[in-house]
Chain A
Amino acid sequence: MTHLLAGELLKVRTTRTAFGFAIAALLLSLATVLIVSLAGGGPETIRDKRAAIAFGSVISAVLLIYGVVGATGEFRHRTLAPAVLIAPDRYRLVIARMLAYGLTAGFAAAAIGAVVYLIGIPLLAGTSGPDLGGGDYLGVAVGGILASVLCAVLGVAIGTLVRNQVGAVVGLLVWIFVMEPLLSIPNANLTDYTIGTGAGVLGQGGNVDGTMAHAFVVLAAWTTLLSLAAVLLDRRRDVE
Chain B
Amino acid sequence: MGEADGAIEAVGLTKRYGSVTAVDDLSFNVRAGTVTGFLGPNGAGKTTTLRMVLGLARPTAGHATVVGRRYADLDDPARMVGANLEVAGAHPGRSGRNHLRALAAMAGLPRSRTEEVLRLVEMDKAADRRVGKYSMGMRQRLGLAATLLGDPQVLVLDEPANGLDPQGIRWLRDFLRAMAAEGRTVLVSSHVLAEVAQTVDDVVVIHRGRMVRQGSVSELTMGGSVRVRTPAPDRLLAALDSAGLSVTRQDGDVLLVNAEDSARIGDLAHSAGVPLHELTPVSTSLEEVFLELTSDTGGIA
Contact = CB atoms under 8 A, between A and B. Distances in A.
Interface of A: 3-4, 6-8, 10-11, 14-17, 73, 77-79, 81-89, 236, 238-239
A14 B105 CA distance: 13
A79 B55 contact: no
Contacts of B91: 11, 15, 73, 77, 79
B38 interface: no
B57 A11 contact: no
B301 to A, nearest CB: 28
A160 to B, nearest CB: 16
Given A11-B94, A83-B106, A239-B51, 16 more contacts: A6-B105, A6-B106, A14-B95, A14-B99, A77-B88, A78-B89, A81-B86, A83-B103, A84-B55, A85-B54, A85-B56, A86-B77, A88-B55, A89-B72, A238-B57, A238-B58
Interface in B51-110: 51, 54-58, 71-72, 74, 77-78, 81, 83, 85-86, 88-95, 98-99, 101-108
B146 interface: yes
Contacts of B54: 85
A238 B90 CA distance: 19
Contacts, number: 83
Interface of B: 51, 54-58, 71-72, 74, 77-78, 81, 83, 85-86, 88-95, 98-99, 101-108, 146
A71 to B, nearest CB: 13
B72 A88 contact: yes
A11 B86 CA distance: 19
A15 B94 contact: yes
A238 B89 contact: no
| 5 A-B pairs with least C-beta separation | A7-B106, A14-B98, A7-B105, A239-B56, A238-B57
B57 A85 contact: no
Given A88-B55, A88-B71, A239-B57, A10 B105 contact: yes
Residue of B51, B71, B86, B104 most packed against chain A (CB within 10 A): B86
Residue of B71, B98, B102 most packed against chain A (CB within 10 A): B102
Contacts of A77: 88-92
Given A11-B94, A14-B95, A239-B51, A78 B86 contact: yes
A3 B93 contact: no
Contacts of A14: 94-95, 98-99, 101-102
Contact of A85 (B77, B90, B99, B108): B77
A15 B90 CA distance: 11
